[in-house]
A and B are shown apart, each in its own frame.
Chain A
Amino acid sequence: MNALRTALPLAIAYLRERTMATLLNIALLALGVGTIIALILTLNQAGQRMERDAAGIDLVVGAKGSPLQLILSAVFNVDIPTGNIPLADAMMISAEPMVKRSIPLSLGDSFRSFRIVGTNPSYLELYDAQIAQGRVWNKALEAVVGAEVARATGLTVGSKFAGAHGLGDGGGDHGDQPFTVVGVLKPGGSVVDRLIVTSLDSVWLVHEHEISAAGASTAKAADAHKHDENREITALLIQYASPMAAVAFPRRINAVSGLQAASPALETARLFTLVGFGISALKLFAGIMMVCAALGIFIGLMNALNDRRADLALLRVLGADRATVLLTVLIQGFALGIAGVILGTLLGHAATEWMGSLVGKIHRVPLTGWTWAREELWVIASALALTLLASLFPAWRAYRDAMPELLSRT
């Protein structure tokens, strides 16, 4: 205890004496720790989101194109759709005995970059979305908005808004066919928070009008039957009746011209292997920074040992035992480690929050730094272990070499 009382202020004085080297070591360690923590937080949140958003969806049927794009657009609502499929085909697939539940989706419009999804109420059930205010739509042009949409746009029950064509901002709007908000959803942590949900009819109505307006005023609603036959949806979310369906069912759909089936689980896995290389490279880079920081601490302590031979001898002359000398060096390394880890953890969370605010504005994908991940503890522990390892040898050298001498003898 007395050794600690003596060694701690001395170690701090030594670190302050070499301000530049101390700051460099702390910065290097903090950058390494911060980078890894930011990666962990981002990946964890993305992974949890994807798992939540894809839960209960075994298969997505949509237009031919990239299967990854189909999943990204229909399940996670981040990419643009691959195209549309005939409603008739979707109805046939829904009637298959292997299909337990199927949910049609019709995408294409947005409001202030929040997507408007035409579907049926089972979409809300899929995500267990609860109504906070109002009710679910019961006729065309009524809409329910997610919690995040309500928060960001100020839409509440009774508000009217016009959807814009396209999924980003800046498309021409459908000002003459405004939606009425009839319900606001509770926040549920799923993709629905960021969606405006309405009936399929609403989406069709908005676009029918567009078509008929373009085709001049030739007999409005001339034949509703013809419309019905030509109706299209963007994608169909499917839940299997039995896991056995995964074997043959997608293959049968892919054989139909114009249709493709994609599995969220497979495509997400593929996405992670695609970005996995970049993530591994970043992690490696951050790891190298941490090792460099440890090396810097090692070299710094070894140099200091040579510069302070006289100090060590004096400490012994003044009555320090060798354990105190050992502790002085060890504390210097460990103090750098603790400072670097604290700074790095703050940096990692701040960087994640900052990225979240940037990404959130553009893609409406939530990412926050105000959260913890269990893996962070591993990063912190290994960074501390690394600095301790880096200080062990210098500390032992000091322990061994600290001989008391009356300095006139040299």
Chain B
Amino acid sequence: MDLSVINPALLIASLMVASTPILLAALGELICEKSGVLNLGVEGMMITGAICGFAVAVETGSPLLGFLGAALGGAVLALLFAVLTQVLLANQVASGLALTLFGLGISALIGQGYRGVKPPPTGRIDLGPLSDIPVLGRVLFSHDWVVYFGLALVVAIWAFLKFSRAGLVLRAVGESAEAAHALGYKVVRIRIAAILFGGACSGLGGAYLSLIRVPQWTDGMTAGAGWIALAIVVFGSWRPGRVLVGAYLFGGLTVLQLNLQAAQLPVPVEVLSMSPFVLTIVVLVIISARRRGASGAAPAMLGRIFHASS
């Protein structure tokens, strides 16, 4: 065992990269759940986004267009879920699970011609003097734009939910669909919009895996990231800040266990591989169990079907 191969600066830098896909997916799901919709299809939307983004990027040679394609792909799959649950009033849990299975299948189908292909690289953005700061510059300020986009999205969603009228309406719809309907808000439309946003974010998260983190296409490459994103939303008490903590925690543990594997820690590889999942959930359970305020509780309508009976 040789722990000296682990470089802390590199660890933190790769932590931010490893966390970004989960962070993006979790933020999308957060908005979706705030509107009262439980979409368990995050994994499916992520992997669909991963292959759509990969395919578009390879065909056009532009990673940026790839990410747009990924968001679109995730949103299209989410639209399927939206039609099932909001128009046809299907059960959300069952529809979400089906969406995951469907996403895994269709991504493998689309991805048949893309195995072993290299995607166009996404450059790091140059933050000028910031990137030149010793250690800190390398850790924080020398990433690609998606990492910073994820962080900005945390702040944007926090502000959206706390300060904007649209955010208030979204929370109201998730809190009591009947009351929102009685006040004249378009519950179904708002929910569909939230579901589509969730799908687009999941798609971005998936594309980050296939275009930057790995970067190549393999079947089932999300490997449970969508599920951990779902868990992070719940144990993060539906707050963007805590979701960020959860995502970075999971990303950090993933990177650490990979480093420990490389350092040949005398622990079975399987135990190391599962440790991020276990530890993230344990830590988040402790955080969420500590305080149970009204703001920390689940949206009251989560997973419930709304049918306007005027």
Does A associate with B in a complex? no
A interface with B by C-beta (< 8 Å): none
B interface with A by C-beta (< 8 Å): none
